[in-house]
Structure 1
């Protein structure tokens, strides 16, 4: 593999605009309106500790939001990964207690195998919650599955083969302070294993789905960080100390501005990763992992900063900002953490560096 001067410039020319299309802006507005109406902080708290609200799940299906990114030929709403990332960001901003983005990624994967049957039909209709075991290709089972406490079927790799795991009932909740629907799935007597693909086909399908998962997780973390900073900004414009609104102090205002800028950078990177993975995944295969690593770090840092803006009140469980802070680290870690993200992006970066050092690449400079 060699990369010419044109190859280095062309991807930037093809897509370096992070603004949303008119249709994507409408999708974001509709999703925001839905969540503002149906996913208040009271709803989020009521879903704890399980982190899953069945009513909100049903409402999302009725509104058509759960069909975004799913092909129309199987009764989805259409759209691709960039549109799904738009929805995932708003779900993260609202802390929606439904593993919707992960479910849609699993539906897309199941559909891409050409099978699925009743499982696919049930998942598209919303009666069956699907999950994805993102680390199953790199570590042995049992696996901690995001959304696994709500799912009754999970896709993952077993000995290199792509399989669907079914259970009559979801495994017990893996209790964490984040109150997310995490659960450990194992290859035990209660789990039926259904083969879907093997060999190179399994690996190809899995890598595509894993990229989708990393992008939507990154988008959710961007939304989560943005939601926390928005709460902090609102608090800073109302709270007074020493005779002045605390937002007038540079230590507070500069922190908030820095947070908005860094979160915007994470958002742009995530949108870039979504576009490339949907349209030219072979050009920049490392982007989903980079976007997730960046978003996870941003969410952890800026939710903590938002807590500090709230002062001592931010550390209490009664403060809504604490909901964001407790979830930030857990969502990033469920995808494997920084070590896993770096391991995923390293081979692609090594190939890129090697290609740029090749004699042919030097000749075209």
Structure 2
């Protein structure tokens, strides 16, 4: 191999390293800059607080990653988060059985299970619309986004369920456990995020479903001809995305000890941004959990840093948007104009 060829090879490798590691380098830069601007930014206590806030974005982003790997998009996750938070809040307030003249107060574990089931059901609706009725994912999930938000508003009349801690007398205490408790000094929400990320990573790298997902996202027609159950994969990823949105809704409601129909507004855009910043191709077939997690931390740590140094919320939106645009540009460079890696 000639010296010129070697130089090109070395240059390409360095460029690939910078592109594929952009989320990691961006996170390091954010930590360094804000640590310099504020000595309180990267203390252990503040790091744990920021991580607990990032956990909500991260859980949503993993569900979004699965959908994007399949070549789709899910605009409904923010509304599903709000709807599921309201469902949990309503159950914590008591379920009235008019025919029996009693009010039931489900235990917290039942509230969690039923809420996740609602999220999975709404996600499955997205999957059925996309897989069986061939509705474009953007249109299907946009419609479900409005329906889910509307149902949440109807359930509450636009109000918020407050003080969702529960009561020992009613036997439903512990709802705020997800949001406030710690295990080995680590917030429970961060542990939930870690478990979800590990399971998703193992599923993508070690299971037949993971291979089916990458194959169908890379080339759906070829995957179908190879025997991949494309419709099943579509329905599954949207169902999982809805279930994870429900988990994120439970974590948020637990942290706030309240649930309202306006929660999670624009969270779907944050989840998409985390996936893109993490290096996934919007056309499907390429991406991973590690990059998505880094993307979620980039957005979360950037937002927290801007708050700490007192930047206006308007400028926070500008900076976050600029990071997203830059990530999309680098995504285009990495995978080409068509979204496929050359």
Q: TM-score, normalised by structure 1?
A: 0.32
Larger RCO: Structure 1 or Structure 2 (Cα < 8 Å, ≥ 6 residues apart)? Answer: 2
Structure with greater strand share of residues: 1
Structure with greater helix share of residues: 2
Q: TM-score, normalised by structure 2?
A: 0.33
